[in-house]
């Protein structure tokens, strides 16, 4: 079977000679795999559309409320306290909080990257979050 890959065109003169698509022959096995991937991608697109539709129908649930001057000041103070609390963490703890909590990477992926066990990641992250809670609430 022939399969066509379409490329997203970018406004880059270096890629001007790059083809818009390429046709290749693929086996039936790969055809099934690609078909399943297309179905998953379509389902994800439908899910994202439903979320966007819900957000438009009930804005209070998905959008941040408009803050008044007092709320903005309180939010800035809270953010400053949070950054101070983050500064109390060791470099390893801060790395774990940033990658797992903020960037939402999986603990297993971070464990593999750092070359330590997932249990150690879990324990170190728990210690970091405990320290953050203590330092954030003491202010």
What are the tens digits of pLDDT across the range 87-109?
Answer: 889 999 999 988 888 888 898 88
- Name the one residue in this structure whose structure tokens are 């998905």: 62
In the chain, the number of structural domains is 2
CATH number at residue 85: 1.10.10.10
Final residue of a domain: which of 60, 81, 101? 60
Whether 33 and 79 share a structural domain: no
Whether 76 and 127 share a structural domain: yes
H-run or E-run covering 21: strand 21-25
Residue 13: its pLDDT value, please? 56
Whether 53 and 109 share a structural domain: no
First to last CA, the chain: 65
Whole domain around residue 100: which residue ranges? Answer: 69-138
Report CA-CA distances (Å) from 42 to 30, 39, 61, 132.
18, 5, 26, 40
Whether 28 and 75 share a structural domain: no
Whether 48 and 76 share a structural domain: no
Whether 96 and 125 share a structural domain: yes
- φ/ψ of 72, rounded to 5, equals -65, -40
Instruction: Characterise 63 by phi-psi region: left (phi > 0), alpha (psi -120 to 50), beta (else).
Output: beta
Residue 51: its pLDDT value, please? 66
Q: State pTM to two decimals.
A: 0.48
Whether 37 and 88 share a structural domain: no
Across all residues in the chain, what is the average pLDDT?
76
């Amino acid at each position: 079977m022939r399969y066509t890959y379409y490329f997203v065109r970018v406004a880059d003169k270096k890629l001007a000679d790059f083809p818009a698509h390429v046709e290749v022959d693929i086996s039936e096995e790969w055809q099934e795999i690609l078909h399943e991937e297309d179905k998953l991608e379509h389902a994800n697109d439908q899910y994202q559309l439903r979320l966007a539709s819900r957000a438009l129908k009930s804005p209070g649930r998905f959008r941040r409320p408009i803050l008044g001057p007092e709320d903005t000041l309180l939010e800035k103070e809270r953010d400053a306290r949070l950054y101070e609390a983050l500064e109390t963490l060791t470099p390893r703890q801060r790395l774990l909080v940033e990658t797992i909590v903020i960037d939402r990477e999986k603990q297993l992926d971070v464990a593999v990257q750092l070359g330590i066990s997932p249990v150690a990641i879990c324990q170190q992250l728990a210690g970091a979050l405990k320290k953050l809670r203590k330092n954030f609430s003491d202010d």
